[in-house]
Amino acid sequence: MVKKISKLFVLGLQEALYDTHGHAALALNRIAGKALLDYLSNEGLLDVDGGTEAVEDAMEKIMESFGEELEHIHVEDEGDRVVVEIQGCPFSEVTEKLTGTGKTPVVCPLVSTLVHLIEEALDTKVRISEMDFEDGTCRFVFEKV
């Protein structure tokens, strides 16, 4: 029951942010994810050794700590950007409902975590520039800044 309520709340929050801020709400990921990052840090789950494989391993470990499992995650460093593809995202139900109404998801708990992990592992600052969803696969593009 709590999972269902949480997903419905995240859906409502996504709709509100999109309605009030449009795509500019993408910038809110860092603020929205601060409590999650603080928790993960206190649990020792944000330590990454470096490289894209470390980001993949850390995300899988984080999701397992919440009792969730990612079907597949792939992180690719493409020079001026980092592309992350996730299959089997636990938020796909929310994403599908939101995109079904013609709205773009603008805040995602995983994005806040990915930003931190990428910055730690690749020793660079990034910002989210794209979020795409198709056939159960989430694709995030982060620009290096």
Contacts (Cβ under 8 Å, ≥6 apart) of 51: 121, 122
pTM: 0.84
118 in Cβ contact with 55 (< 8 Å) = yes
Instruction: Give the DSSP letter string of 93-128.
Output: HHHHHHHHTT------HHHHHHHHHHHHHHTS-EEE
C-alpha dihedral over 110, 111, 113, 114, to 10 degrees? 110
| CA–CA distance, 15 with 47 (Å, rounded to integer) | 33
Residue 27 has pLDDT above 80, yes or no: no
Domains of the chain: 2-144 (3.30.1380.20)
**56 vs 93, higher pLDDT:** 56
Q: Tens of pLDDT along 46-83?
A: 888 889 999 999 999 999 998 888 899 999 999 999 99
Mean pLDDT on 113-121: 93
Mean pLDDT on 126-140: 86
User: Which segment of 16-20, 85-89, 97-101, 105-109 scores lowest on mean pLDDT?
Assistant: 105-109
| CA–CA distance, 88 with 86 (Å, rounded to integer) | 7
Mean pLDDT on 4-13: 83
Under the phi-then-psi rule, with left for phi > 0, alpha for psi from -120 to 50, and beta for the rest, what region is 140?
beta
| CA–CA distance, 84 with 48 (Å, rounded to integer) | 16
